[in-house]
Amino acid sequence: MASGLTPTYLLPYPLQTDPVDVASDAQDLADAVEVALLTKSPLASPTFTGVPVAPTAGSDTSTTQIATTQVVINQSYLKTPPASSTYAPLLYPTFTGTPAAPTPSLGTNTTQIATTAYVQTELSNFVTLPAQSYPATNGQVLFSNGSSASWVNVAIKDVTGLGTILDALPSTYAPLNIPILTKTSGYTLILSDASKQIEMNVGSANSLLIPTDASVLFPVGTTIVVVQLGAGQTTISAAVPAVTTVRYTPGNKLRTQYSTATLVKRAADDWILSGDLIA
């Protein structure tokens, strides 16, 4: 210090000698510290506000360092190419390349994905079919016992005229719903009347005649229903009584209007008549 100069001391606060003033200053200091602490975060489980920042870690860092938004975006699998183009969605995924999956065991029948190896294993366990041929007069049927198989020739029946046979079926077999034919005068049965209901709608006495086999060959078992629809009484008889027999009781006449009878051919030129009849 230079000679002749008097030192000067600067104090931050005036010296307090009064005990009351010292206590007041201590309270003010404590209040200031408390206010300052309200703007800070605790070390344990801090909760930040605003936009907190931190140093950005390098790509692929795997430590307890805080991860910033920047380091997340910089991860290679999120940058090039985008994740949406490198990962398949759970719903309706479309794979590329050569996707693989576990191969199910032989005989698996579930919704598990079938690999090509599974398909080949299943195919190799099918019975190998022997060579076959189809001769002109024979067909072939495959018989297998599960471990081996063989082709067996079977004769094929000539189906020429099958259409004609099928067309004739309604006249030889009773349908579930029989057709109804109405006649307005005396009538002689024809082959197509088989399995039908013949309604005699005549106002005066009339006849329904059954032809001989030589004239119309009804198959044995043919059934025909006869109804007297009109007021005229219907008599059912053979067209040639000396050839065709009609068996009935008590008579061969329908009793009254709406009476019904059934004709059934039981043998060659031999018929049974039953129903609402009188002599």
Residue ranges covered by each domain of the chain: 164-278
Percent of the chain's residues with pLDDT above 70: 69
How far is C-alpha 220 from the chain's CA centre?
47
pLDDT digits (tens, 9 = 90+) for 215-270: 999 999 999 999 999 999 999 999 999 999 999 999 999 999 999 999 999 999 99
At 7, the pLDDT band (50, 70, 90 cuts) reads low
| 3-state SS class at 22 | helix
**Cβ distance 270 to 238 under 8 Å?**
no
Quote the CA–CA distance of 48 and 17 in Å, as a whole number. 44
Tell me the pTM: 0.42
CATH architecture of 164-278: Sandwich (2.60)
| 3-state SS class at 268 | coil
pLDDT at 212: 97
